[in-house]
Homo-oligomer: A and B are copies of this chain.
Amino acid sequence: MSLSYSSHVPDPVALITVATAEHQNVMTAAWATPVSADPPILMVSIRPSRFTHDLILEAKEFGVSILADDQKKLSEIAGTLSGKKKDKLALPGFDTFAAKKIKAPLVKGAHAWFECVLHSHHTAGDHTAFYGIVIEMKVDETKSPLVLFQHKYYALGEVKGVYP
């Protein structure tokens, strides 16, 4: 297997959820990161061909569930099926709960959840970067996050130090 440039950057595994009056969907996104401290803003990069892409433009909000290290199965399902053909959130395993301030549901069992309202978006290459202001969040401190690197899922390992 040839590894692409992007596989050499360790990434979180985020499930992006969105709901409009007519549709809901969930997709896997590894290209997600905080980008601003105040206001808190998360950036998620999504291909225009993905069902979620236009749903976010319509809903103007989205949910982010940062998967825990025992949830790689959900990443696989949400990353390989298209929501255009199937309501993935209705599949077994996708237990969700209602968000507080947005219409999209959030995925149970994750490490952290962020409810975002769309701040802006920026096209770069073959993806659109969606910027969402975090208006609500929740954390499960008993869960540790999944990390994607070189096409493999990892748990966190040895602590190497404390950030100053």
B-binding residues in A (CB < 8 A): 3-6, 8-12, 14, 31-43, 45, 66, 69-70, 72, 75-76, 79-80, 111-112, 114, 119-120, 122, 124-127, 129, 131, 133-134, 137, 139, 145-149, 151-164
Contacts and interface: CB of A to CB of B under 8 A. Distances in A.
Nearest to A121: B122
Contacts of A37: 4, 6, 125-127
B10 A32 contact: no
Secondary structure class of chain A's binding surface, majority of residues: strand
Nearest to A137: B5
Contact of A31 (B33, B75, B119, B146): B33
Nearest to A37: B126
Contact of A124 (B75, B119, B151): B119
A66 B9 contact: yes
19 contacts: A4-B37, A4-B40, A5-B34, A5-B134, A6-B34, A6-B37, A8-B112, A9-B12, A9-B14, A11-B12, A35-B127, A36-B124, A40-B125, A41-B125, A75-B163, A119-B124, A125-B133, A152-B159, A152-B160
Nearest to A163: B151
A9 B38 contact: no
A155 B160 contact: yes
Contacts of A5: 34, 40, 114, 134, 137
